[in-house]
């Protein structure tokens, strides 16, 4: 039975393929693989966000289900992620004590507000706004965030008993818990070796089991070692956060915006791979809605903002997931862990959680990728490096890094629009029109200024075009005519129309003719509606470059 298109657009899961025994077998193992990674990562990322550890499990349960049922990218691993958890934790520093009731309230509001904003962007089809954050900006922010995550986890990994800054100022072996460091560094080595051996191997849950057993056997917790401790079993209860003061709400505005941008850019990176391999079209607005609702559901469970995980999404694809059924099996595993398995995490050393986070973010640290962009675009590379530096320097308010990069990138974009590429063309020996200055070509005619502007004729470029024409006529008294090769001009606004009419009057004042070559129909219709293309001796329209060259006394065939 076919599903009506309108219904499947609102309820995408209705379009899933009918499950078969063969399909469910493959989906089961893919789901188990991702679920076994998600359980320890969820607890570890809750620690990174400064939240009670069990909220990492809450953020791994309902949000995963909401995202897969209402999203267009059903093979993404939605739940707690390193970047979103770091943004949550750093944004709230100074507003409350990590792990306190007020901290949880603030984190829940971050999840609710960023989720509602994200869903709203999807509803009004504003997914294109996310293109404002370019790859170099995201790369620079990600590199800096990964380093900050690494630095934040080193004290727990090494079992430091004093603040990190105090240890750096006065290093002392007595400030290190040797047993905790052994658990952390040993887990780090095992996780790294397992990742090199087989990516689909559930190394995190195996390391959790081994270290929990060893911790219990050696009495690590009884000796004062920091362990996960008792976690409340059962499903999350509905959580309605208390109302904040207006000052607190205003403080959350910037973090909400950045969490919305960064978390969905995480989603976009994985979703594009998912749809490219599946041969389908990505519906970014549908995923905006779904992942916004996932954040809202996480907040209503008393947890923090979620996103699509790079590592878990890649693992899901690598494990052979083909549909959303794999995520449902992962959901079942997390549900079982919440209901029955949490007591097994009691003796897990917190240094092991730090090791899990560090291994999860190691793929984010890729300095060569940023530096290799220098050959492509120095401006964009500099923007990325500036984003990197501001993110590090502004910690814990790391969202300033993204906002600075965004501002610099928009400024560069506006500068380019205000300074379009305008070239004087000459006839190349192969019969094409090319840049005179670049190719060392002669003028088409000593009395003709032949220009091509590779931009729309609008408020941003109109002044530059008029200035180029005026400067050329002033510098070369022999000029009388203007030939505008207009094929690249695909749009014109009111300012552009006014500039065109001034150019026409300018040429008339010199007793010449304005040749207009290859004008696109939408631009021509706008100029005609403004009465700017009235026939006359000072305006000549040519449909092609060849016709224009013939009018100027050149034979394109020769």
453's enclosing H/E stretch is: strand 448-453
CA distance 454 to 482: 17
Q: Is 313 exposed, middle or buried (0-12, 13-18, 19+ CB in 10 A)?
A: buried
Is residue 247 scored above 60 in pLDDT?
Answer: yes
For residue range 487-531, list pLDDT tens digits in order.
999 999 999 999 999 999 999 999 999 999 999 999 999 999 999
CA distance 56 to 357: 13
- Report whether 288 contacts 131 (CB < 8 A): no
pLDDT tens-digit series, residues 112-168:
999 999 999 999 988 887 778 888 888 898 889 889 988 888 888 888 876 666 666
Q: What angle, 0 to 180 degrees and rounded to 10, lies between the N-to-C axes of helices 135-158 and 399-418? A: 170
DSSP character string of 218-268: HTTTTTT--B------SPPPP--PPPPPHHHHHHHHHHHHHHHHHHHHHHH
> Mean pLDDT over all residues of the chain?
89
Mean pLDDT score, 420-441: 92
Number of Cβ within 10 Å of residue 221's Cβ equals: 17
Is the CATH number of domain 422-552 3.30.572.10? no
How many angstroms separate the CA atoms of 95 and 391, rounded? Answer: 20
What confidence tier does 284 reach under pLDDT thresholds 50, 70, 90? confident
H or E segment and range at residue 481? strand 481-485
Rounded distance between C-alpha atoms, residue 149 and residue 207, angstroms: 21
Q: Which residue has the higher pLDDT, 535 or 390?
A: 390
- SS3 state at 307: strand
- CB contact at 8 A, 456 and 422: no
> What mean pLDDT is predicted for residues 532-548?
90
Most confident option among 4-8, 193-197, 303-307: 303-307
Q: What is the mean pLDDT of residues 415-422?
A: 95
Scanning 49-177, the segments in alpha helix (DSSP H) are 54-70, 82-91, 101-123, 135-158, 164-169
Residue ranges per structural domain of the chain: 23-162+190-366, 422-552
Q: From 180, 147, 41, 106, select the one nearest 391 (Cα to Cα).
A: 147
Q: What is the pLDDT of residues 451-472, one digit of tens each?
A: 999 999 999 999 999 999 999 9
Q: How far apart are CA 236 and CA 52, in angstroms?
A: 13
- What average pLDDT does the segment 316-339 reach? 90
Of 34-38, 54-58, 263-267, 476-480, the poorest mean pLDDT is in: 263-267
Per the confidence metrics, is the pTM higher than 0.85?
no
pLDDT at res. 557: 55
How far apart CA 84 and CA 37 sit, in angstroms, is: 18
The predicted model gives 88-97 an average pLDDT of 93
Confidence at residue 1, expressed as pLDDT on a 0 to 100 scale: 47
State the burial class of residue 356 (Cβ atoms within 10 Å of its Cβ: 0-12, 13-18, 19+).
buried
Query: What confidence category does residue 450 fall into, taking pLDDT thresholds of 50, 70 and 90?
Result: very high
3-state secondary structure 489-548: CCCECHHHHHHHHHHHHHHHHCCCCEEEECCCHHHHHHHHHCCCCCCECCEEEECCHHHH
Kind of pairing between the strands at 514-517 and 539-542: parallel
Q: How far apart are CA 312 and CA 300, in angstroms?
A: 24
Q: How far apart are CA 19 and CA 166, in angstroms?
A: 58
Please tell me the predicted confidence (pLDDT) of residue 301.
96
Dihedral pair phi/psi, residue 303, rounded to 5°: -115, -165
CA distance 126 to 120: 8
Q: Which residues pair with 424 in a beta bridge?
A: 451
Question: What would the pLDDT profile of 200-244 be if each residue is shown by its tens digit?
Answer: 788 888 999 999 999 999 999 998 889 998 999 999 999 999 999
Q: DSSP letter at 485?
A: E
Per-residue pLDDT, 61? 95
Q: Say which residue, 89 or 13, is predicted with more confidence.
A: 89
How far CA 193 is from CA of 158, 189, 285, 296, 307, in Å, comes to 19, 6, 39, 37, 27
Closest alpha carbon to 37 in 64, 12, 74, 70: 64
Distance between CA atoms of residues 470 and 486, nearest Å: 18
Neighbours of 506 (CB within 10 A): 16
Q: What is the pLDDT of residue 294?
A: 97
From residue 446, alpha-carbon distances to 437, 449, 550 in Å are: 15, 8, 16
| SS3 at position 198 | coil
CB neighbours (10 Å) of residue 29?
16
């Amino acid at each position: 039975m076919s599903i009506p298109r309108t219904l499947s657009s609102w309820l995408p899961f209705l379009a899933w393929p009918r499950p078969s025994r063969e399909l469910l077998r493959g989906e089961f193992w893919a789901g188990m693989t991702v679920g076994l990674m998600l359980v320890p990562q969820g607890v570890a990322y809750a620690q990174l966000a400064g939240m009670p550890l069990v909220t990492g499990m809450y953020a791994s349960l309902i949000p995963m289900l909401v995202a897969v049922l209402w999203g267009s990218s059903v093979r993404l691993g939605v739940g707690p992620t390193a970047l979103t958890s770091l943004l949550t934790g750093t944004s709230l520093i100074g507003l409350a004590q990590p792990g306190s009731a007020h901290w949880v309230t603030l984190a829940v509001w971050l999840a609710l507000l960023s989720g509602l904003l994200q869903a709203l962007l999807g509803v009004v089809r504003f997914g294109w706004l996310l293109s404002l954050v370019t790859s170099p900006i995201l790369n620079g922010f990600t590199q800096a965030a990964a380093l900050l995550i690494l630095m934040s986890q080193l004290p727990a990994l090494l079992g430091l008993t004093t603040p990190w800054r105090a240890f750096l100022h006065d290093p002392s072996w007595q400030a290190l818990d040797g047993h905790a460091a052994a658990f952390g560094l040993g887990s780090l080595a095992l996780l790294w070796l397992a990742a090199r051996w087989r990516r689909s191997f559930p190394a995190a849950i195996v390391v959790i089991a081994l270290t929990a057993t060893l911790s219990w056997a050696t009495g690590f917790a009884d000796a004062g070692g920091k362990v996960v401790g008792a976690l409340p079993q059962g499903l999350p209860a509905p959580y309605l956060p208390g109302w904040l003061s207006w000052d607190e709400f205003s403080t959350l505005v910037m973090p909400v915006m950045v969490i919305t941008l960064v978390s969905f850019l995480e989603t976009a990176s994985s979703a594009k791979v998912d749809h490219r391999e599946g041969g389908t079209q990505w519906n970014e607005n549908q995923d905006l809605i779904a992942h916004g609702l996932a954040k809202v559901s996480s907040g209503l469970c008393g947890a923090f903002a979620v996103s699509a995980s790079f590592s878990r999404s890649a693992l899901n694809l690598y494990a052979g997931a083909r549909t959303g059924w794999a995520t449902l099996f992962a959901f079942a595993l997390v549900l079982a862990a919440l209901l029955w398995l949490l007591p097994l995490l009691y003796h897990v050393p917190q240094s092991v959680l730090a090791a899990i986070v560090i291994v999860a973010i190691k793929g984010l640290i890729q300095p060569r990728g940023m530096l290799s962009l220098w050959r492509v675009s120095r401006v964009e590379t500099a923007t990325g490096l500036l984003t990197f530096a501001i993110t590090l320097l502004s910690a814990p308010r790391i969202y300033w890094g993204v906002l600075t990069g965004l501002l610099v990138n928009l400024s560069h974009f506006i500068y380019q629009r205000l300074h379009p590429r305008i070239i004087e063309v000459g006839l190349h020996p192969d019969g094409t029109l090319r840049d005179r200055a670049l190719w060392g070509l002669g003028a088409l005619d000593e009395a003709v200024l032949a220009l091509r502007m590779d931009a729309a004729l609008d408020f941003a470029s109109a002044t530059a075009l008029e200035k180029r024409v005026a400067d050329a006529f002033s510098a070369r008294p022999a000029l009388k005519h203007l030939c505008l090769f207009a094929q690249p001009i695909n749009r014109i606004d009111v300012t552009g129309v006014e500039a065109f009419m001034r150019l026409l009057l300018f040429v008339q004042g010199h007793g010449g003719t304005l040749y207009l070559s290859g004008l696109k129909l939408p631009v021509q219709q706008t100029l005609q509606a403004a009465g700017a293309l009235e026939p006359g001796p000072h305006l000549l329209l040519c449909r092609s470059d060849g016709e224009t060259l013939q009018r100027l006394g050149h034979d394109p065939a020769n």
